[in-house]
Amino acid sequence: MKPAPFAYCRPATLADALDTLARHADARILAGGQSLMPALNMRLAQPGVLVDINRLPGLDGIHAGPEGLVIGALARHEAVLRSPLVVRHAPLIAQAMPHVAHLALRTRGTVGGSLALADPAAELPACAVALDAVLRVARRGGERAVPAAAFFRGIYTTALEPGEILTAVVVPPPAPGWRDRFGELARRHGDYALVAVAARCRLEGGRVAESRLVLAGVGLTPVRARRGEAALAGRPLDSAVIAEAGRALAAEIDPPSDVHASAALRRHLARVLAERTLATLATERG
Amino acid sequence: MADAPLRIPEADSYIGKSPVRPQARRLLDGRGSFTDDVRLPRMLHVAFLRSPHAHARIVSLDAAAARGLPGVVRVVTGKDLAGVCAGWVGTLAHFQGMKSAMQHPLARGRATWQGEPVAAVVAETRALAEDGVARLAVEWAPLPVVIDAETALDPATPVIHPDLGDNLAFSLELASGDAARAFAEADHVVRDTFWMGRHTGVTLEPRSIVAAFDPSERRLTVYHSFQAPNMMQDVLARHLGLPESHVRVICPDVGGSFGIKVHIYPDEMATCAISVLLGRPVKFVADRLESFQSDIHARDHRVTAELALRRDGTMLGMRVDDLTGIGPYSVYPRTSAVEGNQTVRLTPGVYRFRDYAARLRVVFQNKTPMCQYRAVGHPIAFAVMEAMVDRAARELGLDPVEVRRRNYVTADMYPCTSQTGYFFERLSHEECLDKLLALSDYRARCAERDRLRAEGVYRGLGLCAFIELTTPGPAFYGVGGARISSQDGCTLKLEPGGGVTCTTGVTEQGQGTDAMLAQVVATAVGVPMEQVRVLTGDTLVSPYGGGTWASRGAGIGGEAALQSGKALKGNILRVAGAMLSCEPDDLDLRRGKIVDAVTGEVRLDLAELGRVAYFRPDTLPKDFQSELTVTRHYVPRHQGFAFTNGIQLAHVEVDTGTGFVRLLGHWAVEDCGRIINPRLVDEQLRGAIVQGIGAALYEHCVYDDAGQLLTGTMADYLVPMAAEMPDIVVGHVETPTAYAEGGFKGAGEAGTAGAPGAVLNAVNDALAPLGARVTRQPITPEVVLRALGALP
Amino acid sequence: MDVRPETEMAITLTVNGVAVRRRVEARRTLVDFLREDLELTGSHVGCEHGVCGACTVKVDGALARGCLTLAVQCDGSRVETIEGVTASGELDDLKTAFAETNGLQCGFCTPAMLLTADVLLRDDPGLDADGIRRGLSGNYCRCTGYHAIVEAVLAAARLRREARRG
């Protein structure tokens, strides 16, 4: 399967990249290419122009500042997986990264690419929502910030407008007491998740003061299981409470059916995975 | 002396040893030469327009835009090939009543499966050819689809080929003894229905072919990733109207085949026909999307089985009803009836009960054509049989091992003929079972399984005994009218420097034909293995033979090599006798040196003998002629197949919360006769077992109600990858065949024959305490959870 | 600056230590460029979706899927293929181990398997069987069933650890 013909450029600055995108309506951004290239090879995508942003300076850094952990959009998955800063400031992401594809894909694939692709079964979008991350978006004439919860609009659909480029994801510093646990069920190591859970709980006096239960693979976007979270609120993380949260979560989601799993299977797996993930989270030291 | 049986001192024999494969270094260095690596001057590339519909009339096809694209050389339709390539029908005379419609390289007027090639664009590059295909404007009129085997024969279901009258390709009824009486007398009957999922080969190197027609001599040279070059040569000659001697088929390195690459494909025939049309080389490489849609599929069966037993576990009789849904054509030339035929004939073969009745129906559907794929029919036969055995044991409260032992065909019964007419020279079921139990520490694992159940951990152990048909004789295909060779040949040439060049009609796809034959030849001739070079896969150079299929390489190719080696040795010693003025019988050839047969004293170097024979025959007696190139052929005549046998054990843990099955370990003990290279046999078993595991847990060609293939990419069709596969422990028993001097039988498919049954039984063993049972493959989490009643 | 997208461009890169300059279509993948333009046929095409791993090479020192990388993206980059590591001999210990365990049969997955295994061992010399299986889980092999490959990589790992100690 060879791609349909396209024109290619590799701008040296962000401004040039934004200008090029503005000039060509049928342009697509090429970052890691690990999702775009298969689509091009299969002719599922046939852009007239590819704008290669891999050489744009300053977008691949990972650093911690007062605003939180800033992961540049061009940071490669493998760099994020190995980063001690990510382990310290966003352990949820650190736990998710080994599930992302395989080494040869992680060396090229980017955080920004995964977030902008918005595959409902991907790990990073669910983590971003669970961490209340903020996505920085560059456009001609400025920058804007979009909270993760508002960023993912539908399957392969985000708040990015034509001509915009994601530049970073910022994970705000968590208040003390948060515990994070990521869990995933996939038929084979490295596959897209059948279901995945990004679970976070902040405990006060042994009770859940706040939580985030965000699921991948059960909807058109990452799904925040608010009723599951509500079942946990103000209660200890014991098995009865966890079971109730699991039931509430299973009832509130509306998963799709596809060749990999029926809706009934996804619903069941989501419940089981959420319960197990919360059970593990409960045993962790904060 | 050349006719005497081989007596080689153990130290000089390579039989039973595991030297490294001669080809390994080349492949490790990245110097493999696969068909897509072949580049010829003025070579063009072809891409195909394939039907997006499972069944549709081609109303119109406008190629103007495609033709106008720079770089596009020709657009070819079925009509253009009508005068170039004759169509074919995939039936064989010995499958009585079998019928199939004529098939052409490009569909004419109507496409009957999604993926069927309809038009071809020939261009300077593959990318340009695809650009051309994208510019073809086709109008389709979709037709009703037949995609459910269960209703394919209903009167209300459309008939795909009206001229054939119905959608029945083939049917068969078998009866041995009196099954009705067995069931009437039984204390216990088990009955189950099994659904075996359609799946496919997914060879890593896709199907690839380069066809180069030279119009000046009307000669066609084809480079083909294929298993049977002489068969392809024959088919091309007949269907393209060329003399057989004008067609040369060369199989370069083949990146896996497993039966996928032994069939006739319309796109490959079209490629060859297009080369004839254009008088230029044309290359076709199936891309992965095309592979899923157009490589042959296999194993789409629904089997209902009943087993009648006495209370003590003695099996009395069995009935089997097998319904298999193939594609709209029976595949040429081996036919799509073989898989079903083998399924119903193999099922009872391990056990001694005589009362057996079976019915087979093979029906046409608007899906990808189906045909022989590694272990043809065996995996289904033994998954069914062994699942019934385990179920019966459980219901009767008996040990599954003892039920098998009680019912095996035992050592004292051979030679014998199975319920369905298969001849067994001698098998070793009991020995293999005993060895497997010891190798796997079976009883201890059962105890551990029982202990863990109390803790809510559900592990299971599953046995699967099997037989495997190997080294087939002419009754397999030849008697049905197929020009498929069951005989094979080996030519050995002594080079002047002392090397031995071996050409053979069996072929190489990675199983180690190179090593296996080098070992046999080196042993039979008496030279170090490093001095033997094996060449395969060129119809111009190799003796006429059958290639690779039905695990025939060692049993047939190895035997031909053995006889040829003995003959060459005899001729070498005759030359040596002439040179040394003594009797050839007083000499021997060991490790490349002519020695005194009694004392072992070195008399002559082989290179010296070569020099004299080839360059200084003036120094030999006047009436002496050296004959240092020898060919011997071999075809098995005394038995239809050299049956082998074995038994496998799968150890699994089922997560009853998620339905996921984790493979903890796998064991196999197999008897493939005299083993030439134990490591190669072990590795064939391991690779074959993992293919079987793929079918048991992961692989499935899934269609929607419109006949659209839903699992058409590597993301949707799941193949086994390293992280989920178990370590595989292999053991052997050796029962050589007495019908061939080497005693070699085949081993290539045994792993796949028994693995799905072992995994199925292990999963059911794990689920048994929960009252759940699965009878379909692949065993996905959904299948497990539904069996547990965990899904609404 | 006016950035003009081109359908074809000249690229300069280093392949196996040798400077290469060619004119390529923008849509040409790296693996097709290596195989067709440079006739380095040791890297193989198995799926063009990035899943099977047969096209794996190294770009700027890191593993990359040749089917998911455009040749034009490699302008200015350093590419290494099986031909390069064969010439340098740096994977000979792994190759010997593969030969001895018969960790290859048809050889189609082998160059990529070797390059990947080597990187895994460089990253973690103490990798155990489970780690090897996970690390190689992006490389499809249909022939071996993986067991002999894992044994080969374990054997090579042991040798490398001993060599470092000695």
Q: Which two tokens stand for residue C13?
A: 């890169």
Last residue of a domain, one of A171, A199, A231: A171
For chain C, which chains pass the contact test of at least 3 CB pairs under 8 Å?
A, B
Residue B601 reports pLDDT greater than 80: yes
Identify whether the C-beta of residue B336 lies closer than 8 Å to the C-beta of residue B353: no
Which residue in chain C has the smallest CA separation from A33? C68
From C163's Cα to the closest Cα of chain B, the distance in A is 22
Which C positions 106-145 lie with beta carbon below 8 A of chain B? Answer: 106-111, 114, 129, 132-134, 136-145
How far is it, in rounded angstroms, from Cα A206 to Cα A222?
28
User: Does C73 contact A54 at a Cβ distance shorter than 8 Å?
Assistant: yes
| A29 and A118 belong to one structural domain | no
Distance of alpha carbon A1 from its chain centroid, rounded? 29
Which residues is B492 bridged to in the sheet?
Answer: B502, B630
- The partner residue sitting opposite B657, judged by closest CB among A187, A262, A272, is A272
Cα–Cα distances in angstroms (integers) from residue B320 to residues A285, B47, B175, B385, C122, in the given order: 59, 44, 10, 10, 55
Domain of A79, CATH number, reads 3.30.465.10
Q: Residues of A91-124 as b/e, b for ≥16 C-beta within 10 angstroms?
A: bbbbbbbebbbbbbbbbbbbbbbbbbbbbbbbbb
Cis before B415? omega within 30 = yes
Closest CA relative to residue B343, chosen from B392, B306, B302 = B302
- The partner residue sitting opposite A264, judged by closest CB among B289, B716, B791, is B791
pLDDT tens per residue, range A210-265: 999 999 999 999 999 999 999 999 999 999 999 999 999 999 999 999 999 999 99
User: Does C5 contact A50 at a Cβ distance shorter than 8 Å?
Assistant: yes
Identify whether the C-beta of residue B546 lies closer than 8 Å to the C-beta of residue B513: no
Residues of A whose CB is below 8 A from C5: 7-9, 20, 24, 27, 49-51
DSSP state of A163: T
CA torsion, ordered A163, A164, A166, A167, to nearest 10 deg: 100
Residues of A whose CB is below 8 A from B709: none
Give the range of the structural domain holding residue A196, as residue numbers without chain letter: 179-283
Q: Can you list the pairs that A146-153 forms with residues at least 24 positions away whose Cβ atoms lie under 8 Å?
A: A149/A224, A151/A115, A151/A118, A152/A118, A152/A125, A152/A221, A152/A222, A153/A118, A153/A221
| A89 and A110 belong to one structural domain | yes
- Is A122 a domain residue? yes
How far is it, in rounded angstroms, from Cα B484 to Cα B505?
12
pLDDT at residue number B5: 67
- Is A2 a domain residue? no
CA torsion, ordered A221, A227, A228, A231, to nearest 10 deg: 170
Closest CA relative to residue B232, chosen from B672, B649, B542 = B542
Which A positions 92-151 lie with beta carbon below 8 A of chain C? Answer: 101-105, 107-108
pLDDT at residue number B4: 63
- Is A190 a domain residue? yes
Estimate the share of chain B in helix, then strand, then coil, as percent rounded to the nearest 5. Answer: 35, 25, 40
Q: Grade residue C166 by pLDDT with cuts at 50, 70 and 90.
A: confident
* CB contact B4 to A (< 8 Å): no
In chain B, pLDDT over 90 holds for what percent of residues? 98
| A161 and A82 belong to one structural domain | yes
User: Does A8 contact C6 at a Cβ distance shorter than 8 Å?
Assistant: yes
Which C positions 47-76 lie with beta carbon below 8 A of chain B? Answer: 47-49, 51-52, 54
In chain C, pLDDT over 90 holds for what percent of residues? 96
| A143 and A100 belong to one structural domain | yes
Which residue in chain C has the smallest CA separation from B25? C99
| A37 and A80 belong to one structural domain | no
Average pLDDT of the segment spanning B322-328: 98
| A183 and A167 belong to one structural domain | no
Q: How many beta-carbon pairs under 8 angstroms link B with C? A: 170
Average pLDDT of the segment spanning B617-626: 96
- Is A43 a domain residue? yes
| A249 and A274 belong to one structural domain | yes
Closest CA relative to residue B692, chosen from B719, B671, B717 = B719
Residue B722 reports pLDDT greater than 80: yes
From C1's Cα to the closest Cα of chain B, the distance in A is 32
| A70 and A158 belong to one structural domain | yes
How far is it, in rounded angstroms, from Cα B230 to Cα A8?
47
Domain of A32, CATH number, reads 3.30.43.10
| Polymer length of chain B | 792
Closest CA relative to residue A68, chosen from A171, A148, A166 = A171
Residue B484 reports pLDDT greater than 60: yes
Q: Give the number of domains in chain A.
A: 3
Residues of A whose CB is below 8 A from C119: 103
User: Does C68 contact A30 at a Cβ distance shorter than 8 Å?
Assistant: no
Q: Grade residue B475 by pLDDT with cuts at 50, 70 and 90.
A: confident
Contacts with B3 (C-beta within 8 Å, 6 or more apart), sequence order: B566
From C97's Cα to the closest Cα of chain A, the distance in A is 22
Least confident of A197-206, B207-216, B473-482, B681-690: B473-482
Last residue of a domain, one of A123, A139, A171: A171
Residue B2 reports pLDDT greater than 50: no
| A24 and A69 belong to one structural domain | no
Cα dihedral B224, B229, B231, B233 sign: positive
Contacts with C34 (C-beta within 8 Å, 6 or more apart), sequence order: C15, C40, C43, C57, C66, C79, C81
Which residues is B46 bridged to in the sheet?
Answer: B122
Q: Three-state DSSP class for A119?
A: coil
Identify whether the C-beta of residue B701 lies closer than 8 Å to the C-beta of residue B299: no
Tell how many helices (H) and how many strands (E) occur in chain C. Answer: 6, 5
For chain B, which chains pass the contact test of at least 3 CB pairs under 8 Å?
A, C
Residue A187 reports pLDDT greater than 90: yes
From B322's Cα to the closest Cα of chain C, the distance in A is 29
| A154 and A185 belong to one structural domain | no
Residue B101 reports pLDDT greater than 50: yes
Which residues is A136 bridged to in the sheet?
Answer: A145, A168
DSSP string, A221-280: S-EE-HHHHHHHTTS---HHHHHHHHHHHHHH------SS--HHHHHHHHHHHHHHHHHH
Residues of B whose CB is below 8 A from A188: 698, 718, 721, 723-724
End-to-end CA separation in angstroms for chain B? 75
Which A positions 61-80 lie with beta carbon below 8 A of chain C? Answer: 78
Q: Grade residue B1 by pLDDT with cuts at 50, 70 and 90.
A: very low
- Is A90 a domain residue? yes
- Is A164 a domain residue? yes
Q: Which two tokens stand for residue C125?
A: 């010399």
pLDDT at residue number C165: 87
- Single-letter amino acid, residue A18: L
Last residue of a domain, one of A131, A153, A171: A171
- Is A1 a domain residue? no
Residues of B whose CB is below 8 A from C134: 722-723
Mean pLDDT score across all residues of chain C: 97
Identify whether the C-beta of residue B103 lies closer than 8 Å to the C-beta of residue B269: no
- The partner residue sitting opposite A7, judged by closest CB among C7, C48, C49, is C7
Domain of A241, CATH number, reads 3.30.390.50
* CB contact C1 to A (< 8 Å): yes
Residue C30 reports pLDDT greater than 70: yes
- Is A268 a domain residue? yes
| A48 and A70 belong to one structural domain | no
In chain B, pLDDT over 70 holds for what percent of residues? 99
pLDDT tens per residue, range B112-142: 999 999 999 999 999 999 999 999 999 999 9
Cα–Cα distances in angstroms (integers) from residue B451 to residues A51, B397, B448, B454, B598, in the given order: 61, 19, 5, 6, 64
pLDDT at residue number B3: 56
Average pLDDT of the segment spanning A166-176: 95
Identify whether the C-beta of residue A93 lies closer than 8 Å to the C-beta of residue A115: no
How far is it, in rounded angstroms, from Cα C51 to Cα C43?
15
| A69 and A138 belong to one structural domain | yes
Q: Grade residue A284 by pLDDT with cuts at 50, 70 and 90.
A: confident
